Amino acid sequence: MALKTGASVLRLNTLRNAAVRLLSTHTRPEVAQNTKYAEFPGAKAPYVTEMKFLNESSYDPIPIYRVLDNSGSVLESREEPSIDKDELVNMYKTMVQLTQMDKILYESQRQGRISFYMTNYGEEGIHVGSAAALSPRDLVFAQYREVGVFLYRGVTVTELINQCYGNHEDPGKGRQMPVHYGNKHFNLVTLSSPLATQMPQAVGAAYALKRQPNNDRCVICYFGDGAASEGDAFAAFNFAATLDCPVILLCRNNGYAISTPTNEQYRGDGIASRGPALGIRTVRVDGTDALAVYNAVKQSREYAIANNKPVLIEAMSYRVGHHSTSDDSTAYRSIEEIQKWTTDESPLHKFKMYLEAKGIWDAEAEKTCLKESRDTVVRTMQEAEKKKRPHWKEMLEDVYYDMPPRIQKQMKQMEEHLKKYPDKYPLDQHQD
């Protein structure tokens, strides 16, 4: 990615100053001049003689930073990041590839070809905007709706689909549910199903990085608004702040935790308001605007590494698809509500309009990109179906360097069981 250093620094300073101006407008309880400040170990705060309780209306809402409007036009030219044209096209192609993969694999699950799937509709801008702003060496702790980050890093569609099908070329050897990806080469930590477990792990990894001499890496941790309600989230926020860890905590606030809307999940000003309360530098961005996400993550990365400090980013978006193939979201929201976010508020729509305005994308390029992306997924899926599953012994291997007696016993019992009932198991579908 070719960036003009001088222009980049100028724009980042402008972004920083704009954020300071916005935050300075927030209402604070009035304190008289020359007020004496308390020196309690737990808080340095002014004394007052009038008791006032604070609530969610005591402060103005944290503003949402954006670069593009709904038509893909740049609102302030100074905020437009200096990204190479080829890289901009690559960002959009990644979003298109992700969308095509979602469409086909979702239908694949409905046809019984794979057991489970989760789509990413509406959040493509968060994936690609953040991934483009990171270094390939930065460590990524994702949740389960960030596969666009994997694609942008270089993980192939083939590897992702092999994982969903659990064949013998799946790096996880068929042990994980579909969409639980991981790739050590690209610094992508394997996903876990339980919500928020990756958050304190990410903070711990960031703490380890800062202890290395001349560290030039950071950690980014993705999580949703639902995960933010878990106890691990608070632990991660507090550890990140008190241990001064170079970690970016990026919340995808997409409006729903499965079927629970945000207005039933919290009463405060979203997830971003928790950052300043815990001493974390914080910004809220339009998650449907890939350029806004890019700017926020790029500056957050520079700050985190230079200062060994955490940053919290709340990326506002909308989960267009069902939570997963196990969910029917029409039971708790209307079709009309969803449709709004598939047109003007779509991350792909905004970014495509932006590229067209710059003269680097057109209808013919769109047609070609859609066809190539779809063909890649269909071809890869057909190949994945033909590949055999891992040998059954794989389920008992790779846990211990030297297999302990109890696992050896289980292995022997399984061998005897299969010899006794060979017709009950499709061993011909597994590797010899």
Q: What is the DSSP string of 77-123?
A: GGGS----HHHHHHHHHHHHHHHHHHHHHHHHHHTTSSS-----TT-
Lowest mean pLDDT, pick from 19-23, 177-181, 208-212, 322-326:
19-23
Q: pLDDT band for 7, please (50, 70, 90 cuts).
A: very low
β-strand partners of 285 = 65, 315
Which residue(s) pair with 74 in the sheet?
68
What does pLDDT average to over the chain? 93
pLDDT computed for residue 55 by the predictor: 86
> Which pTM was predicted?
0.90
| Mean pLDDT confidence for 65-84 | 98
Strand partners, 220: 140, 248
**Where along the chain do the CATH 3.40.50.970 domains lie?**
62-386
Q: Would you place residue 22 in the very low, low, confident or very high pLDDT band (cuts 50, 70, 90)?
A: very low
Q: What is the pLDDT of residue 220?
A: 99
* Band of residue 28 on the pLDDT scale cut at 50, 70, 90: low
pLDDT over 70 at 283, yes or no: yes
Amino acid 301: pLDDT: 99
Cβ pair 237, 275 in contact under 8 A: yes
How confident is the model at residue 30, as a pLDDT?
A: 64
Tell me if residue 229 is catalytic: no
Residue with tokens 């890496």: 217
Element (H, E) at 273: none
To the query of whether residue 323 is one of the catalytic residues in this protein, the response is yes
Please provide residue 25's backbone torsions phi and psi, each rounded to the nearest 5 degrees.
-85, -10
Is 25 a residue whose pLDDT tops 50?
no
Q: Would strands 256-257 and 247-253 be described as parallel, antiparallel, or unpaired?
A: unpaired
pLDDT score recorded for residue 334 = 94
Which residue among 87, 193, 416, 417 is the active-site one? 193
Q: What is the pLDDT of residue 169?
A: 98
Give the span between the Cα atoms of 114 and 177, in whole angstroms: 10
State residue 421's pLDDT score.
97
pLDDT confidence bin for 253, thresholds 50/70/90 = very high
Which is more confident, 8 or 139?
A: 139
Say which of 79, 317, 323, 373 is annotated catalytic: 323
Over residues 279-301, mean pLDDT: 99
Query: Active-site residue 193, yes or no?
Result: yes
User: Does pLDDT of 81 surpass 60?
Assistant: yes
pLDDT of residue 10: 47
Q: What is the pLDDT of residue 27?
A: 54
Statement: residue 256 has pLDDT above 70: yes
Q: Which residue in the list 130, 324, 329, 346 is annotated as catalytic? A: 324
Long-range contacts formed by 41-49: CB under 8 A, 24+ apart: none
Q: Which pair of tokens denotes residue 275? A: 């950052």
What tokens were used for 291? 């350029």
Report phi then psi at 215, rounded to 5.
Answer: -65, 130
* Nearest-angstrom CA–CA distance, 210 and 240: 12
Q: pLDDT digits over 112-123, tens only?
A: 999 999 999 999
Secondary-structure breakdown of the chain: helix, strand, coil percentages, each rounded to the nearest 5: 45, 10, 45
Residue in 144, 257, 228, 138 with CA at minimum distance from that of residue 192: 144
Catalytic choice (107, 264, 337, 416): 107
**pLDDT above 90 covers what percent of the chain?**
87
For residue range 361-417, list pLDDT tens digits in order: 999 999 999 999 999 999 999 999 999 999 999 999 988 999 999 999 999 999 999
pLDDT > 90? residue 344: no
pLDDT of residue 31: 59
Residue type, 29: P
- Residue 343 has a pLDDT of 87
What topology is assigned to 62-386 in CATH?
Rossmann fold (3.40.50)
Q: Render 294-347 in DSSP notation, one character per residue.
A: HHHHHHHHHHHHHHT--EEEEEE----S-SSTT--GGGTS-HHHHHGGGTTT-H
> Does the annotation count 417 as an active-site position?
no
pLDDT in tens, 29-45: 565 666 789 989 998 89
